[in-house]
Each structure stands twice: as C-alpha cells, then as structure tokens.
C-alpha cells in the first residue's frame, strides 16, 4: 500500500468511526515504534513519525547519549538515527494494518464508554443481531452494540445470566433491556473472557430496574413523580411484585399503574413475555404493608416484631395455600418486597398455639389496674388448674385477645 493510499484509508476510517485524525496517527506512531523495534532488533527501541500530508513513515533508531544518565542509572536523552527501510516488508504492512484495526476498535470502545458509562440503569431498545448459547448481541444503533449474557453459571462461575427463564430471541427481534455495566477499555482489572471481541455494553432483562423503567414508560404519574415505586421483587420470567405509593391523597396509585381496563400493566406484562405482575399498595404501617404484599390472599391478622424484623401472619384456612403460593413463591416475593421475615399460619393452627400459651400467675391487677373501674374488665378464662387469666378483656367481650376464640373472625381485626 502506497503511503498516500494509507492516509486516504486512515481518513476514511476516521470519518466512519468518528475518531480524531491526529489522535489516531499518534497512537499508530506509538504502536509502529514497538513493531519496528522488534523487526529491526533495536536494543534501545525506535521512534516512528508519520507525515500528516503524504503518509510516509520514518523510522529512527534510538541511541542513548552517554552523559544523560540519571541517578537511578537510566538514560534520559537519546539520539535519533534514521533507519527507515527503503521498502516496507509485507510483515510490517500486515502488522501496521492489525495495529490500525486495534486502535480503531479501542478508540470506538473508549467513545462508547464515555457516552454510556453514566447511563447505568437506563432503558434501551434494540434489535437482536445474533444469539448464541452464551449471549445475545443487540444492536442499539449503528456502530453501537450491547451484550445480553446468559451463560451457564455452573460452567462459567464468573459470568452472568441476565436472561429470564424461558426467553429465547430471534434475529431482528425488537427487545427492551436496562444497562447494568459498561466495560472500561483502559481498566487495569482482569478482563472477562473474550472481552475485546465482545460488545462493551452489558444489558439485562432480569434486573428489577427493568420493571421500574417499563412502568415509568407506561404510567405518566410515575414518570412525573406523583406516584412512587417504593420496592420491587422479581423472579424473572415468572412473577413480580411492585409496591407503589401516591404523593397525592386523591390519586389511587394502584389504579394509576393498572390503567383503564388493565391497559398499562398489560403493556408491561407483554414486554416481559407474560411475567405475572402484582401491583400492591405501599403503607408506612408494616402490618398493613405485609398484608398488602401477600395479595391476592386475604389476611386476618399481622403481628409485628420490629426488633427481629419478623411478621407473624394469620390467614383464613382456605387462604393458606394462596398466601404461601406455588412452591412458596408468593410468600417469598412478599418477604423480599417488604424486607420482613414472614411466617404464615392458618387460623386453626394459630388458635391451637394460642391455647397452649402458658399463663403467668401474677395478680391481674398488675395489668388491668383498678378492678372497680367499670370500663376495665378482667378476662374470665380459667385454666384447668383453676387460675384465672391476668389479661384485660377485649371491649365487648368476656375474654382477652388470647382466649377469645371469636377474635380472629372479628371484622375489626382485619387489616
């Protein structure tokens, strides 16, 4: 390749890849200097300059100047001796071509990193270019591609799986995902396997942030900030729970997310390939929040232990399987959504447990105060040993909450 032809090719590359011409030539000079130092077996290395106009390459052998040695024994000045070959060998030309491709590729990755590194968590749309057993390549726009990894983590422990269970992608298929990582081409960290041949942008369809971005896209109230998504729990490809809260008391946040005839949540479910989405109402009261999170099951009572982050939940007997869910999925998602450890029991089991609670023998007056007060009544339950319960009776009942067998059916206790 003639020198002028090489410069023309460089200019075309710069325009095509949107790379600064001077930056590319500087990088090429540095890489060619290493190449010629090896080809010509130069002990002290080489310096290469490229004529910016003609593209002619000049190679100089570096020879240290004797009196330029510093205190550490290193030479700081070198004499440049022209050793430019008359004819560039085929090996040198091929090597230069490889270096140019590497520089162009690395420069493009640097530009992508600068543009997308600040967009972690953003929703992107793309077209499937290629799908392999380990990852899918998605085209975001011309010259910018992303990787959706779905490696078998039993074989590749350090790789990722960002594809929901059961999803498969076809060529030219349109998909949406969130950006979870952008690989830095200048990072000193150990690169992932085949990183330099894989797209620098890593996207995910399993991350909870995808759910948030899809709702922002479909629900104007969320995008504007009137409705807030407080928490998200996902089992990708199967089921999700989303807790929402409205800053406007007049606006129903669940209704806003579901949309007219379910149109808004249906659009999200469609993008997630049929993943079931439960939209529940967030509440500052942990008991109410936990009860809501177990939807669609109906909850009779929730007992909260804030120190242990424990929530004991009592449900009607016919709601127990619904509250737990298939293979415990409903209870598991509710626990992730709320951050509470949830223990679910049926009313029958809870009543049996409460009946066996040992009764303390302290005088009832210690708890209920002055028995002469007509508004304060003592529980009338008497144990088999003849000891009367020391607790205060519930309003309108002869028994306390422990021994009132009708308590669980009382509508006032429903949450």
Domain ranges of the chain: 3-116, 120-185+195-206, 283-353, 357-415
Task: With cut-offs at 50, 70 and 90, classify the pLDDT of residue 193.
Answer: low
* Domain 3-116 fold: N Utilization Substance Protein A; Chain:P; domain 4 (3.30.1480)
Q: Lowest-confidence range among 46-55, 181-190, 305-314?
A: 181-190
The pLDDT, as a whole number, for residue 65 is 86
Residue ranges of E strands in 88-224: 123-131, 135-141, 144-149, 174-182, 201-204
The pLDDT, as a whole number, for residue 109 is 86
Mean pLDDT of 342-347: 92
Q: Which tokens go with 349?
A: 């089991």
Query: Long-range CB contacts (< 8 A, 24+ apart) of 10-14?
Result: 10/55, 10/100, 13/100, 13/104
> CA-CA distance, 360 to 357, in Å (whole number)?
10
> CA-CA distance, 351 to 339, in Å (whole number)?
27
- Burial string for 283-294 (b: 16+ CB within 10 Å, else e) reads beebbebbbbbb
The more confidently predicted of residues 358 and 38 is 38
CATH class of 283-353: alpha beta
pTM for this prediction: 0.69
Same fold yes or no, 3-116 and 120-185+195-206: no
The answer to whether the CB of 173 falls within 8 A of the CB of 131 is no
> 249 φ, ψ to 5°?
-60, -20
Task: With cut-offs at 50, 70 and 90, classify the pLDDT of residue 370.
Answer: very low
The pLDDT, as a whole number, for residue 326 is 92
- Burial string for 56-75 (b: 16+ CB within 10 Å, else e) reads ebebbbbeeeeeeeeeeeee
> CA-CA distance, 352 to 312, in Å (whole number)?
15
Pairing relation of β-strands 227-235 and 239-246? antiparallel
pLDDT greater than 90 at residue 197: no
The pLDDT, as a whole number, for residue 233 is 96
> CA-CA distance, 298 to 113, in Å (whole number)?
49
> CA-CA distance, 242 to 161, in Å (whole number)?
22
The pLDDT, as a whole number, for residue 386 is 63
- List the one residue out of 44, 47, 17 whose CA is nearest residue 31: 47
> CA-CA distance, 136 to 185, in Å (whole number)?
21
| Helices 3-17, 90-116: crossing angle, 10 deg rounding | 20
Average pLDDT, the chain: 83
Percent of the chain's residues with pLDDT above 90: 48
pLDDT greater than 70 at residue 33: yes
The pLDDT, as a whole number, for residue 404 is 66
Task: With cut-offs at 50, 70 and 90, classify the pLDDT of residue 412.
Answer: very low
Identify the architecture of domain 120-185+195-206 in CATH.
Beta Barrel (2.40)
Which residues, in sequence order, are CB contacts of 67 under 8 Å at separation 6+? none
The answer to whether the CB of 44 falls within 8 A of the CB of 64 is yes
């Amino acid at each position: 390749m003639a020198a002028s032809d090489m410069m023309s090719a460089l200019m075309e590359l710069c325009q095509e890849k949107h790379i600064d011409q001077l930056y590319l030539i500087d990088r090429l000079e540095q890489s060619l200097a290493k190449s010629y130092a090896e080809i010509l077996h130069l002990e002290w290395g080489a310096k290469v300059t490229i004529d910016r106009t003609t593209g002619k390459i000049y190679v100089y052998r570096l020879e240290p100047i004797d009196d330029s040695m510093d205190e550490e024994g290193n030479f700081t000045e070198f004499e440049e001796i022209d050793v430019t070959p008359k004819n560039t060998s085929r090996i040198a030309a091929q090597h230069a071509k490889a270096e140019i491709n590497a520089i162009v590729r690395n420069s493009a990755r640097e530009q992508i990193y600068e543009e997308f590194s600040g967009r972690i968590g953003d929703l992107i749309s793309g077209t499937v270019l290629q799908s392999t057993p380990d990852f899918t390549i998605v085209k975001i726009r011309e010259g910018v591609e992303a990787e959706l990894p779905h490696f078998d983590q039993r074989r590749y422990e350090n790789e990722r799986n960002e594809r929901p269970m059961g999803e498969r992608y076809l060529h030219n298929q349109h998909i949406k995902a969130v950006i979870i990582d952008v690989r830095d081409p200048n990072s000193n960290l150990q690169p992932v396997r085949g990183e330099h041949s894989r797209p620098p942008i890593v996207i995910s369809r399993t991350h909870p942030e995808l759910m948030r971005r899809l709702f922002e896209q479909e629900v104007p109230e969320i995008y504007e900030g009137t409705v807030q998504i407080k928490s998200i729990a996902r089992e990708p490809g199967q089921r999700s729970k989303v807790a929402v809260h409205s800053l406007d008391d007049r606006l129903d946040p669940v209704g806003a997310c579901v949309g007219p005839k379910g149109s808004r949540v249906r659009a999200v479910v469609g993008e997630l390939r049929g993943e079931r989405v439960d939209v529940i109402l967030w509440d500052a009261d942990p008991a109410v929040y936990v009860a809501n999170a177990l939807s669609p099951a109906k909850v009779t009572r929730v007992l909260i232990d804030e120190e242990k982050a424990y929530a004991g939940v009592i449900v009607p007997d016919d709601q127990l399987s619904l509250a737990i869910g298939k293979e415990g999925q409903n209870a598991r998602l509710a626990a992730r959504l709320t951050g509470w450890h949830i223990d679910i029991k049926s009313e029958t089991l809870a009543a049996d447990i409460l009946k066996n609670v040992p009764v303390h023998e302290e005088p009832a007056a210690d708890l209920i105060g002055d028995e002469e007060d007509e508004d304060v009544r003592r529980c009338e339950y008497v144990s088999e040993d003849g000891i009367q319960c020391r607790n205060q009776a519930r309003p309108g009942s002869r028994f306390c909450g422990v021994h009132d067998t009708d308590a669980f059916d009382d509508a006032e206790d429903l949450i």
